[in-house]
């Protein structure tokens, strides 16, 4: 039922990959992002259960740093470029920026919220 996501990027440097968003999102007035994640994404459950449930989406609110990283996951910028933008935007508050951003992007990747491309 639940498949463990294989790490298909073994041998590649995470900082050189480009994250691409998989889900819709809403930007609030205070520049924070809310992810809109469908409750059922599978073919069978999505087809039969999605139409009959009231709330079809999970809403995940991101903090300021997470919102900034998510908005930069456009498929054009590498993770390293995003880290540098985070440092420029947040300064010392974001340190250790490489570890924080890398961990956040890995979490989003393993949650199927984004894909990583070369």
Q: Reduced to 3 states, what is the DSSP secondary structure of residue 112?
A: coil
For position 2, what pLDDT does the model report?
40
Entry field: residues in the chain: 118
Question: Quick one: which of 108, 100, 117 has its CA closest to 23?
Answer: 108
pLDDT one-digit tens code per residue, 20-57:
998 888 898 888 999 888 877 766 766 666 666 777 78
pLDDT one-digit tens code per residue, 86-115:
999 998 888 898 899 999 999 999 988 898
Q: What pTM did the predictor assign? A: 0.79
Could you give phi then psi for residue 18, rounded to 5 degrees? -110, 115
d(CA 79, CA 58): 26
Q: Reduced to 3 states, what is the DSSP secondary structure of residue 19?
A: strand
d(CA 111, CA 60): 12
> Domains in the chain, please, with CATH?
15-117 (3.90.930.60)
Residue corresponding to tokens 């996951």:
73
């Amino acid at each position: 039922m639940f498949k463990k996501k294989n790490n298909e990027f073994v041998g590649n440097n995470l900082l050189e990959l480009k994250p691409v968003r998989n889900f819709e999102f809403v930007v609030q007035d205070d520049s924070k992002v809310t992810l809109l994640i469908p409750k059922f994404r599978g073919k069978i459950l999505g087809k039969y259960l999605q139409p009959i449930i009231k709330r079809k989406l999970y809403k995940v609110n991101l903090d300021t740093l997470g919102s900034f990283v998510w908005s930069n996951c456009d498929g054009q910028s590498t993770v390293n470029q995003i880290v540098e933008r985070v440092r420029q935007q947040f300064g010392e508050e974001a340190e250790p920026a490489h570890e924080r951003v890398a961990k956040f992007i890995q979490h989003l990747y393993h949650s199927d919220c984004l894909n990583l491309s070369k």
